Amino acid sequence: MAVRSSRLLGLGLDRAALRQAGLLALAAWLAFALASSLHITNAYWAAMPVWVVAQASRGLLFARGFLRILGTLIGAAVGFGLLHLIPNHYFLLLALGLWVGFNTALTHVLRGVTAYGALMSGMTAAIVILPTVFSPERSWDIAIARVECTLIGVAVVTLVTALFTPAASRSALMSRARLMAGQAVRFAALVIEGVPQEQLAVAEQQLLAEMSSVTQAADQMTAGSLRGSRRRKRVDALVAAALLVMSAGRAAASREASGETIARARAELDRLARHFERETEAEGEAPLGEGLDPRLSDSLRGLVAADTALRADRQAGDELSGRVPAFLRNPHGDWSLGTTAGAVSGLATWLAGSAAYAANWPVAELAALGVCIFSMVLGSLAQPQAIAPHMLKGVLAGVAAALIYRFGVQPHVQTVPELLVSVAPFLLLGGLARASRRTAIAAIDANMCFLLASQAVLPAVTRPAAILSEAGALVAAAVLVTSSFILLPRRHDRHAARTREDIRRDLERLLANPQARRGASWDQGMTRQIMRLTLHLARAGEGDCGAAHGLLGVLNLGIAATALQRLMSEGRLGDEDRRLIAQGLAALGRFRTETPRPELFDEAARKLANAEAARAMKEAAAAFRQAEPFLTDA
């Protein structure tokens, strides 16, 4: 028994994985059997949703099932709409490429699992349009069968696996989010203590990376329910509040303080950090004391309020995250990256479809469909060059299994019961591969390509030339797409550079705006930019370098500039104060062409008659000193 267990562990399987493999194989087989008994065209499509809809948590399972159905319906509607509006096949394929590209771009803009719906929308439109281009008489049957198989597959995998799929751990997400909040407070304490800048830079980058990771984890752990969506928005609010605490700590450290004040602040911050790090909290405990820097104290109160709203799990408090729907408000949403990915997949789909149609290749439809699907899947991923080799292995394994089936098994299949029995061993092997930690990634494509290339229907096509041509078309599409992503990897350093430029441009616009700006708008937008930049730097392998050094200073500079602009708009300043502030903001806004001298702003602050304006001008000077490495580094 021990020897058998060690062998299973060597294959990446344990008891839980074996149970999962059996459930997946059973769900795939039942979906295929139900679709076959209903005589649905290409009944094997019903087994395909099983391998991608099944998830580690129940919420994700329900969310992906719903989004697969929704994306399929939208894609089918768009596909038929384009067929009705565009009779010319070349223009039709161009429109398909645009739709595929748009949906691929959405996978980098929509939030978390929601992006899966866009992926399915693009693929389904291709499945409706491409068969029509190459075999017009089959278009309606294929599209209807696709929708029917999706409904069957999603329903079956949900019913079979839902009871055995655990709910996501709310407590784990809460603990991680609160620990992140405590780390932000401890970072502020480190800044105020005056620890070396090198140590602060490392702590800052690690904490920013953790914030980015927490928001991504929240997407996965809160999917599948309205309560989860509400909780996810509150995690965003907690991350934004923690970022403001970090920046307020930086700002507070730039002001002169006595040793007694620093010691009192350190003790208070330590107490609050422990408040967040505890698993439970005493009722009625006062979250904050007195004697802290005003802005730091305000930011800490905001952090406590965000934490309270997160733990309360009630309707109250949702105003912390604004009115934008959660599935649209993506901290990591990146139109720049999405546009690049969409252009690649859309162009690949258009070129493959047009070339196949012009060549009149008998299996051109399968090759063009393969290019579309593979390019969409890889294009939607954060690091496609890392997944592309696994995809290619999976495609090769799936096609090889399909060839074994078609040459060795399918010729002996004469009835539907025999057909169902014939695919069962292959589905079981697919379930084991999908449940194994060693082969889980490649197994998705292996199972999909087995079902696609096996053509498990009656009557079966038995001509060796046709079988090999279909297999070759699928392999050729996979090799072309995966090799392109491997040889031309996604450059996250370039996307990071674009995000840095966006941040600089956003600050430039803020400084140039003579009208008062709402600080909350700046804070929220800047938080998303910082999270996006941190994510790109981590993917580029630059998470611990100085590429983001000075980010908190940029945030502080924007807050100080907003305060100055608000004072100017309120009409409480004299003409000389207004002139000095306008002159200072204009000088700061020229940071691209000439480096401002912070000492000039300190001098201007001493000349300002309004005490609040003088304080904001000093904070702007200190913030620019912090932000200068980020703003001036090319």
Q: What is the pTM of this model?
A: 0.84
pLDDT for residue 155 = 92
* pLDDT for 519 beyond 60: no
Name the residue among 99, 134, 318, 104 with its Cα closest to residue 226.
Answer: 318
pLDDT in tens, 189-205: 888 888 888 888 888 88
When pLDDT is averaged across residues 130-137 and rounded to a whole number, the result is: 81
Confidence at residue 444, expressed as pLDDT on a 0 to 100 scale: 94
Give the pLDDT band (50/70/90) at residue 285: low
- Quick one: pLDDT at residue 520? 46
What per-residue confidence (pLDDT) applies to 1? 47
Task: Say how far apart CA 377 and CA 121 lie, in whole Å.
Answer: 12
In angstroms, what CA-CA distances link 557 with 298, 560, 622? 17, 5, 8
For residue 541, the model assigns a pLDDT of 65
pLDDT value at residue 360: 79
- What is the predicted pLDDT for the residue at 46? 94
Q: How far apart are CA 43 and CA 455, in angstroms?
A: 9
Question: Confidence band (pLDDT; 50, 70, 90) for 217?
Answer: confident
pLDDT > 90 fraction of the chain, expressed in percent and rounded: 35
Residue with tokens 């703003």: 631
pLDDT beyond 80 at 12: no
Please, which pLDDT band fits residue 497 given cuts at 50, 70 and 90? confident
Specify the 3-state DSSP secondary structure of 49: helix
**Domain-by-domain residue ranges, the chain?**
12-167+334-487, 170-280+287-321, 492-632
CA distance 370 to 94: 17
3-state secondary structure 153-167: HHHHHHHHHHHHCCC
- Listing DSSP states for 52-98 in one string gives HH--SSHHHHHHHHHHHHHHHHHHHHHHHHHHHH--SHHHHHHHHHH
Angle at 347 between CA 345 and CA 348, to 5 degrees: 60
Predicted confidence at residue 166, as pLDDT, reads: 84
The pLDDT of residue 79? 92
444-488 per-position pLDDT tens digit: 999 999 999 998 888 888 889 889 999 999 999 999 999 999 998
Angle between helices 335-359 and 89-106 (to 10 degrees): 150
Q: Which region among 16-30, 272-286, 393-407 has the lowest average model confidence (pLDDT)?
A: 272-286
Ranking 50-59, 229-238, 377-386, 392-401 by mean pLDDT, the lowest is: 229-238
**What's the rounded Cα separation, in Å, for the pair 99 and 106?**
11
Mean pLDDT of 90-117: 93
Q: Using the structure block, give the residue that is written with the tokens 């070129």.
A: 351
Give residue 424's pLDDT band: very low, low, confident or very high (50, 70, 90). Answer: very high
198, burial (CB in 10 Å: exposed 0-12, middle 13-18, buried 19+): exposed
How far apart (Å, rounded) are the C-alpha atoms in residues 208 and 546? Answer: 13
Q: Residue 260: its pLDDT value, please? A: 65
Mean pLDDT of 336-351: 94
Name the average pLDDT for the chain.
Answer: 84
Give percent of the chain above pLDDT 70: 87
pLDDT of residue 90: 93
Residue of 400 and 556 predicted with greater confidence: 400
The predicted model gives 288-304 an average pLDDT of 79
- Mean pLDDT within 572-582: 84
Q: Report the interhelical angle of 464-487 vs 364-380 (nearest 10°).
A: 30
**Class of domain 170-280+287-321 as given by CATH:** mainly alpha
Inter-CA distances, 497 with 261, 319, 485, 556, 633, Å = 40, 33, 21, 21, 11
